[in-house]
């Protein structure tokens, strides 16, 4: 039986996480689920994000996944803890769900000298203060400032990341963040869409400020997790395959997925989560 590693995102951004994970751990089977029909999650309430994420996680469990990564910052911020503490012990004690915020928080202490860190993310992730809480748990001396970038994900999904119009919105939020704390020397891109805006972001950030996309750190963290949990690792099938599920039409998914993966995606299936 196939037991792929599941990767869930509200839309397409989690494909940037999947891409990095597959680069580092190509031998495993992967099952990606995008809730594209109900995206974006960024401005939705905690209750709605939790319910949608829970539906997606259990869909991936039904398809054989023993381990699921929430490749979505909003879901990691608003739903991960409830799923880990309430749902898994009761319904699926042998399954595991991991998020993308903790791996980035764990590494940030090595990436800032000034101990002032910025976070650019969706409204939901910023409001949850998940980055601040996770980082300060590990590094109480680090000061965290966050700014919501409500239109950035939409710009990426509309394939406008390279357009002149994107500059206005990128510059505006970076200026806002640096006004909040001019001592920031590291900025976390707290949404998986944002790496696709990297060429714009570096234009408006001072040369001494480090930009931190999450994919690499999530991949490293997953590799470490599998080494530390052989009981989970041994259950993950290894045929180097990747299958995609979407709540949108497979044609629309294929077209947009190319923006994030820079390769054609053909193994796509429509699913319902409700």
Tell me how far CA of residue 161 lies from CA of 46, 178, 189, in angstroms. Answer: 28, 22, 15
- Residue 34 near residue 248, CB atoms below 8 Å: yes
Kindly state the tokens that stand for 97: 């769900």
Which helix (H) or strand (E) covers residue 244, if one does?
Answer: strand 242-246
d(CA 23, CA 219): 8
236 carries an active-site annotation: no
Annotated catalytic residue: which of 72, 149, 236, 242? Answer: 72
Kindly state the tokens that stand for 185: 């020397």
Annotated catalytic residue: which of 65, 149, 191, 236? Answer: 191
72 carries an active-site annotation: yes
d(CA 204, CA 92): 46
Q: What's the first-to-final CA gap in the chain, in angstroms?
A: 25
Q: Which residues are catalytic?
A: 72, 191
């Amino acid at each position: 039986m196939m037991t792929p590693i599941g990767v869930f995102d509200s839309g397409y951004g989690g494909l940037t996480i999947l891409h990095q994970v597959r680069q580092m751990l190509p031998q495993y089977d992967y099952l990606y689920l995008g809730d594209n029909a109900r995206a974006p999650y960024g401005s939705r309430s905690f209750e709605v994000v939790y319910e949608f994420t829970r539906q997606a996680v259990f869909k991936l469990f039904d398809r054989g996944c023993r381990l699921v990564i929430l490749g979505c910052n909003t879901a990691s911020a608003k739903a991960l803890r409830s799923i880990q503490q309430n749902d898994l012990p009761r319904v699926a004690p042998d399954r595991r769900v991991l998020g993308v915020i903790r791996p980035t928080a764990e590494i940030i202490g090595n990436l800032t000298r000034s101990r002032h860190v910025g976070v650019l993310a969706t409204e939901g992730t910023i409001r949850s203060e998940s980055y601040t809480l996770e980082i300060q748990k590990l590094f109480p001396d680090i000061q965290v400032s966050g700014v919501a970038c409500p239109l950035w994900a939409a710009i990426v999904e509309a394939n406008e990341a390279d357009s002149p119009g994107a500059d206005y919105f990128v510059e505006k939020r970076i200026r806002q963040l640096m006004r909040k704390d001019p001592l920031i020397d590291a900025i976390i891109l707290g949404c998986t869409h944002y790496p696709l805006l990297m060429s714009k972001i570096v234009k408006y950030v001072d040369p001494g400020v480090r930009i931190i996309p999450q994919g690499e750190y999530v991949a490293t963290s997953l590799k470490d997790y599998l080494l530390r949990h052989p009981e989970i690792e041994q259950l993950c099938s290894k045929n180097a395959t990747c299958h995609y599920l979407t709540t949108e039409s497979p044609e629309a998914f294929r077209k947009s997925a190319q923006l994030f993966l820079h390769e054609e995606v053909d193994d796509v299936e429509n699913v319902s989560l409700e």
